[in-house]
Amino acid sequence: MIEGITYKVLPYLESNRLVYMYTSFGKLTLHARGAQKMTSDLRIASQYFNFIQADVDAKEGLIPVSKLKILNDFQNIKVSFDIMTYVAFMLEVIDKCIDSNDPHKLIFQELLEVFQSVDIRQQICRFMIRLFKHIGYDIPLKADGREVTGFHIAQATLTYQGNNLLSDISMDTLILLVQLKYTNYDTILKISSLQYQELKNFFIAYIEYHVHVKIKNR
């Protein structure tokens, strides 16, 4: 029995679907036969962004399934377009940036905590900062005593008064990054919609420069 979050779904052959799951031991791909058919029991369960359970033993290759159980379809989140765009961004990062050597159990536990939170956009921001560290691209935010003026993405370093590096983010965004990095998921900060977009833009730029993947969900 395997539980996981569906981070991508693709049609396959005439009436089937490929269901990409992220689990506590990594990524796996299910072959949901007939899931494209209107009459199939798999049609709803195999949808994008569900927390599902599959009665399978294999953990590699294309795994055929004939039954899936929905543990949570997160309908309370799916009703908000703004939140869904943030979730789609996070799941794309999981798809493109996590590899087989990463600490999947820890990442998956934090992912579930994000989905179960009240302010999911804020927790996605925390998750992203922690994910960078888990996959080897930590965002260093501890100052050395000089006056901080911002953050330089290419050098992955804070910028200081008097040096020749220009900041890629505003000080307000940097302050939010520091607060998000050094507080737990149960700490709720006041963040505006514009600030959420600025944070997302920063994450995308950081990923594209350091991880060398292109992010579509912006």
pLDDT (tens digit per residue) in 187-215: 999 999 999 999 999 999 999 999 999 99
Mean pLDDT, rounded, for 8-18: 92
- Partnered with residue 53 across adjacent β-strands are 3, 69
* pLDDT greater than 90 at residue 82: no
36 and 110 in a single domain? The answer is no
How far apart are alpha carbons 115 and 86 in whole angstroms?
12
184 and 109 in a single domain? The answer is yes
* pLDDT greater than 90 at residue 41: no
Pair 131, 125: CB distance under 8 Å: no
pTM of the model: 0.91
Token pair for 204: 């995308």
Number of alpha carbons in the 13 Å side-chain half-sphere of residue 172: 9
Q: Tens of pLDDT along 43-77?
A: 899 888 999 999 887 677 888 888 899 999 998 88
Closest CA to 171 of 150, 140, 154: 150
31 and 119 in a single domain? The answer is no
103 and 206 in a single domain? The answer is yes
The boundaries of the domain holding residue 31 are 2-73
In a domain, 218, yes or no: no
The mean pLDDT value of the chain amounts to 93
90 and 51 in a single domain? The answer is no
86 and 148 in a single domain? The answer is yes
* pLDDT greater than 80 at residue 108: yes
Note the pLDDT of residue 172. Answer: 94
In a domain, 169, yes or no: yes
107 and 26 in a single domain? The answer is no
30 and 99 in a single domain? The answer is no
